[in-house]
Amino acid sequence: MNYKLTSVFYGNQGWSMDEIENLSSWTNKRPTVIVLFTDWCNGSMIDLFNTQLNNIWNNNSIPLITWELYGCGGTSQPGIMRLVRNNIYDTYINQFGDRLRIWLAGNDGILGNADDRRVYLRLAHEMNGNWYPWSASMGNSTPQDYILAWHHIHDIFSNKSLDSTKLQWIWSVNNADVGNYTAENYWVGDSYVDWIGVDGYNWGATQSWSTWVWPNQIFDNMIGRLRLLSSTKPLCISEYGTTSKRIGNISDTQSKNDWLNEFCAYMNTTQIQMAPYFNTDKETDWAIFGGMNGNMIWNNFSVYTAFKDCLQSNDWVLPDSTNQRIITDEQFAGIGNTTTMTTLTSSSSTTSISTTLNASTSSTTTNATSSATSITSMTSRGLRFQKLSGPGSQSFQNSGSGSVPKLLYGTV
């Protein structure tokens, strides 16, 4: 049996839990993990540790922090990973690590006892794309800079006694390589990773470069490649979503519901152990609860029944109200949640990609047989978020140009 952690990205990223309460009431399942995004701004650090993480933990959920290397107001530093590896950001990294250590120690402030908290950390994700400044494809750095920067941050945190019972590191790639380097070029090594993750979306007919693709078409190729890097690490789909626009600009709620059913089965056949759905309408109608579309209405919320139906099986890891740390160490680490590991090979997809492993270099050469725009149709949203003013005031916008939407995240 494949045991999975209930998880979601939804709402105000810890500013308010009302939306999570409504979602939980509908599904009859509380999310064990809640995703949020934060940048490298001191103001964001204050918000994160004083408010957002506390609200999520007090909701009996574990935060999953997506830690994006942007400055205040969404500013970016060229070659950021090279600067990190050369100790330029050590003051900030140590401050963040110290605040994290205090937060993980729980209410008694003592690290290493029964009330310790937990957190997942997804650092510098989708590096194999070409939309984030920590990607070597953006210039001024190399994949080796990324690897050494990751090691440097990981080592700083490890030296603060932030072990794997409190902190789990998620190394998360885009489902397709876009730019000059492959996901394999950025592999930081088994000893520096607790989970491996993939982001991917079905954009359907919403973009000039996109067509409708099913879960296996989005994820099979990259999951197979990641299993060659590490056959033992638990797997998460760290961002995913689907539009309802299958043909033209017409909402096809049945097709979206079918897609969600397919993904539910896919999690088990692929032994995915965590998959936070991106439940926010942004570039298109991603939401499965409380969005612009649904295949039914529940308490005035548009909903997709396939998402709720998927959660009704008995193979989900739910928050344990009798456990101060919400779940066990083994469940937190994805240990023993599956009976076997599966290596996938890509089946049919909109983009046909052939992968060959070079055993001597442990790198993968990916030959796309279709155009760059077809590859882009399988990519992630490339998002970052901007909090414009005050708690609970969130808005989303695209930045940059080209076929892959970018996002902007910062603090006031």
Give the per-residue pLDDT at 381: 63
Instruction: Report pLDDT for 349.
Output: 34
Q: Which residue has the higher pLDDT, 378 or 143?
A: 143
Q: Is 197 strand, coil or helix?
A: strand
Closest CA to 57 of 118, 121, 120: 118
Residues 224 and 347: beta-carbon distance below 8 Å: no
4-407 belongs to which CATH class? Answer: alpha beta
Write the pLDDT tens digit of every residue in 339-383.
433 334 333 333 333 333 333 333 333 333 333 334 443 456 654
* Over residues 277-298, mean pLDDT: 97
Q: What is the pTM of this model?
A: 0.85
Place of tokens 């006694």: 161
The span from the CA of 45 to the CA of 330, in Å, is 29
Mean pLDDT, residues 102-131: 97
Tokens of 171: 């190394």
Q: In the prediction, which pLDDT does 337 show? A: 64
pLDDT tens-digit profile of 195-209? 999 999 999 999 999
pLDDT band of 264, cuts 50, 70, 90: very high
Q: Is 324 in contact with 60 (CB distance < 8 Å)?
A: no
Could you report the per-residue pLDDT of 190-243, keeping only the tens digit for each? Answer: 999 999 999 999 999 999 999 999 999 999 999 999 999 999 999 999 999 999
Q: Average model confidence (pLDDT) for the chain? A: 86
* Cα angle 235, 242, 326; round to 5: 45
Give 391-401 pLDDT, tens digit per residue.
332 333 333 32
Share of the chain above pLDDT 90, in %: 80
Quick one: what percent of the chain has pLDDT higher than 70? 81
The residue-averaged pLDDT of 27-43 equals: 97
- Among 282, 238, 280, which Cα is nearest to 399's? 282
* 12: confidence class by pLDDT, cuts 50, 70, 90: confident
pLDDT for the residue 167: 98
**Tokens at 379, concatenated:** 């990519």
What pLDDT does residue 115 have?
95
Q: What integer is the mean pLDDT of 286-313?
A: 98
Per-domain residue ranges for the chain?
A: 4-407
C-alpha to C-alpha distance for 149 and 194, rounded to whole angstroms: 17
* CA pair distance 212, 350, nearest whole angstrom: 9
Of 104-113, 155-164, 367-376, the range with the lowest mean pLDDT is 367-376
What span, in angstroms and rounded, lies between the C-alpha atoms of 326 and 329?
Answer: 10
pLDDT of res. 388 = 27
